[in-house]
Chains A and B, each alone.
Chain A
Amino acid sequence: MSETIIGKTLVIEGEVSGTEPLIVLGTVKGKINLKNSVSITEEGCLEAGVEASTLDVAGVVRGNVRVSELLEIKPGGRMEGDIAAPRVLIADGALYKGNIDMDTTSDR
């Protein structure tokens, strides 16, 4: 399985889409639309809307997030935006600000 890795020093201003997992160590400004997992590391910063199967936030996410499976905000992670996910896991020490909608059956 090949992953897309955005390096620490890289800044992407645009949209990242695809079917492969994405690991963000750098900065992505824009939109992420993946049919796979997205992982924001401690150094990573995501200033974009995310639409993915799963989302792990250890860094900073500013944007609305729609996840089809699981959204996890890890300790030290920070998120500002709305969450639409059937499963949400916010660890102790995480920071979140936004709205959470866990009823994905209804269309928005």
Chain B
Amino acid sequence: MQNSPDTIISSGNLVEGKVEGSGIIQVMGTIRGDVILEGTLLVDAGGLVDGSIEADHVLVVGSIQGRVHAREILEITATAELSGTYTTHRLIVEQGAKINASVTMTEDNQGLPSGQHATTAQAPERSRPLSSPSQSVFDRATETASVPPSPAFTRTQAPAPTASTPTQPPVQARAAVAAPSPTPTARTTPNFHSVADSVESTSAILERAQAALASATLGTTTAPAQKDSSPEPPPIPANPAPPLPQEEASVQEASVSASVEPATENSNKGESNESAAPAPVNVKAQAKKKRAAENKDNLTSEPPSAASLSSATPAESMPLVFSEMLDEPEGDAHAGA
């Protein structure tokens, strides 16, 4: 222990005489005589000092009889019993102390005031909160000696934490915790990219849908404007419907012959068979003739709607089989004329 006493007068021993020295003296026994000390005199419980005492700091738990001059502070605890004349710079008296003495308080700790004695039946008492019982007496003595004089009577004068201090770390912690919150924006970037991709795919889908719609209305197939990795709907077949085999052959022959004639007729234009509008009309007429001849031989009926064919609009020219099929039932086609 750092504040261990230098001299201990045990409870069973008696010192009679003059005690002079320095340091800390703990009296648990009895001292009858004068004590001149440059330090702290602790009269512990059960201790008795009968004589004059002159020390820097006097802490009384037991009993003192005689004159006491405390250069710095005289501290009287609740179990103390004092009688005599006391002179001190600072005085602390706890509730419960028994005092029958005259007390004089000096302005400084240098010496006694000349001719000034306050004779009172009881010393002025200023209550002070008791320290913790577990606190060592020596700790109390040293703390009291080190504490500067102040109207406050609290032993421990550690600064109390302010209200804001404990909250600051939590605030900072909250800030630190809140800091990661913006990071989810980093997460959004991949979402953003995925959205962009989805947007692109959506536009492609729209284009394909439009193309399909156009092809469905026009009867032509158009290749999709953009080919994406995303799955595409099945392409629209070149021919909306497969023609019948027999009629298909006749139509193909008609188309072949038609392809030759328009090529010769329209050689200047250089148009293909597919795009020439008047060509299908001539093809139809020739096809009718051939069929009529064939029908006589093969009992194939003429398309009754030759006029309808001739009057067919260019929009309706492509699906020749369809128009023929629509005009004549399937049974009649094979039945013959």
Contact = CB atoms under 8 A, between A and B. Distances in A.
B13 A15 contact: no
Nearest to A18: B13
Contact of B15 (A3, A9, A12, A19): A12
A4 B18 CA distance: 16
Interface in B1-53: 5-23, 25, 28-29, 33
Interface string A51-76: 00000000000000000000000000
Contacts of B20: 10-11, 13
A26 B21 contact: yes
Contacts of A16: 13-16
Contacts of B33: 14
Contacts of B28: 2
Given A10-B25, A18-B29, A4 B9 contact: yes
Contacts of B29: 4, 18, 20
A86 interface: no
Nearest to B14: A17
Given A2-B28, A18-B29, A26-B21, A9 B6 contact: yes
B10 A4 contact: yes
A5 interface: yes
A23 to B, nearest CB: 9
Contacts of A97: none
Interface residues of A, number: 23
Contacts of A100: none
Contacts of A26: 7, 21
A14 B23 contact: no
A105 to B, nearest CB: 29
B103 to A, nearest CB: 28
A6 B10 CA distance: 10
A6 B6 CA distance: 7
Contacts of B9: 4
Nearest to B11: A2
A22 interface: yes
B23 A18 contact: no
Contacts of B22: 9-10
Contacts of A13: 17-20
B17 A30 contact: yes
B25 to A, nearest CB: 7
A94 interface: no
Interface in A5-59: 5-20, 22, 26, 30, 34
Contacts of B11: 2, 20
A67 to B, nearest CB: 18
A11 to B, nearest CB: 5
Nearest to A7: B6
B147 to A, nearest CB: 25
Contact of A14 (B7, B12, B16, B25): B16
A11 B21 contact: yes
B19 A17 contact: no
Contacts of A34: 13
Contacts of A5: 5-8
A77 to B, nearest CB: 22
Nearest to A16: B15
Contact of B6 (A8, A11, A15, A30): A8
Nearest to A10: B21
Contacts of A12: 15, 17-19
Given A15-B17, A30-B17, A7 B7 contact: yes
A20 B13 CA distance: 6
A84 B2 CA distance: 41
**Which 8 pairs across A and B sit closest by C-beta, in order of nearness?**
A14-B17, A18-B13, A7-B6, A10-B21, A7-B7, A2-B10, A20-B12, A20-B10
Given A2-B10, A16-B14, 7 more contacts: A5-B7, A7-B25, A9-B22, A11-B18, A14-B16, A20-B29, A26-B21
Interface of B: 5-23, 25, 28-29, 33
Interface of A: 2-20, 22, 26, 30, 34
